Amino acid sequence: MASTSVKSAYHAGIRDGAPFMLVIAPFAMLFGVLATEAGLSVFETLSFSVVVIAGAAQFTALQLMTEEAPTLVVLASALAVNLRMAMYSASLTPHIGGAPLWQRAIAAYFTVDQSYAVSVTKYEAAPDMSPEEKIAYFFGTVTPVCPLWWIFTLIGALVGEAIPASFALDFAVPITFLAIVAPALRTRAHIGAAITAAFLSLLLFSVPFNLGILLAGMGGMMVGARIEAMTETATS
């Protein structure tokens, strides 16, 4: 019976993660095209996606590399963009922290925006799920997403300039993040942080090496934390 429920949770994860396939494919292909245009080999491009497996950090690092930014700036910027993964991990720990070490290690590698957003939403909606069902569901969410990221990165790297400019693959980038962020804007703190970060990113657009995005993110987090603190004070 337990085995059946675990399989059902895994299949449910696949179903819930499947819609992201529509944007992951062009998103990954765009990275493959841009990476090879920037001078990376097909092997280097694919290795980038396999090792890092974080679209935002990959695009950030790639753009800074093409601008010949200092290596320290490239590494620091990519790390800063991926700091949200630490928050994702902390949020997932109460749900899958009791899984065997090997499962947690694999889950850590596959913790991406899509798997986190879908899994946490499910866990909050179904608090009676067992730890085994939760980890199975998590692995289900990444099954249609991550392999597609690798495959279409390779396709983009191989076909390169053969893709017509009219395809406008870059549409997938904002759509992906809107699909992830929009459902998470459930409180005034979330909304305030998002609006602040968006406003500051436009205001700081001219800052060298795209560091304005990092500053905008920090500003958004500060505003969100302040609103959260004010809300807790008002309700206590």
pLDDT of residue 167: 58
How far is Cα of residue 126 from the mean position of the Cα atoms in its chain? Answer: 23
Query: At how many degrees (to 10) do helices 101-109 and 84-96 cross?
Result: 150
Place of tokens 């990275």: 31
Show me where the domains of the chain are located: 2-172, 185-236
Q: Quick one: pLDDT band at residue 182, thresholds 50, 70, 90?
A: low
pLDDT of residue 229: 84
**CA–CA separation, 85 and 90 (whole Å):** 9
pLDDT of residue 110: 94
Q: Quick one: pLDDT band at residue 79, thresholds 50, 70, 90?
A: confident
- What is the rounded average pLDDT for all residues in the chain? 84
pLDDT of residue 12: 96
**CA–CA separation, 222 and 91 (whole Å):** 19
pLDDT of residue 1: 46
Which of 75-79, 193-197, 209-213 is predicted with the least confidence, judged by mean pLDDT?
209-213
Convert the pLDDT of each residue in 119-165 to its tens digit.
Answer: 998 998 999 999 999 999 999 999 999 999 999 999 989 987 666 65
The predicted model gives 166-189 an average pLDDT of: 63
Q: Quick one: pLDDT band at residue 176, thresholds 50, 70, 90?
A: low
The predicted model gives 57-72 an average pLDDT of: 83
CA neighbor of 157 nearest in space, from 24, 32, 31, 28? 32
pLDDT at 236 over 70: no
pLDDT at 56 over 90: no
**CA–CA separation, 44 and 109 (whole Å):** 19
**CA–CA separation, 30 and 236 (whole Å):** 49
The model's pTM is 0.75
**What sections of the chain are H helices per DSSP?**
2-17, 21-37, 42-52, 55-66, 71-81, 84-96, 101-109, 113-125, 131-142, 146-159, 172-181, 188-203, 211-235
User: Under a CB-based contact definition with an 8 Å cutoff, are residues 211 and 76 in contact?
Assistant: no
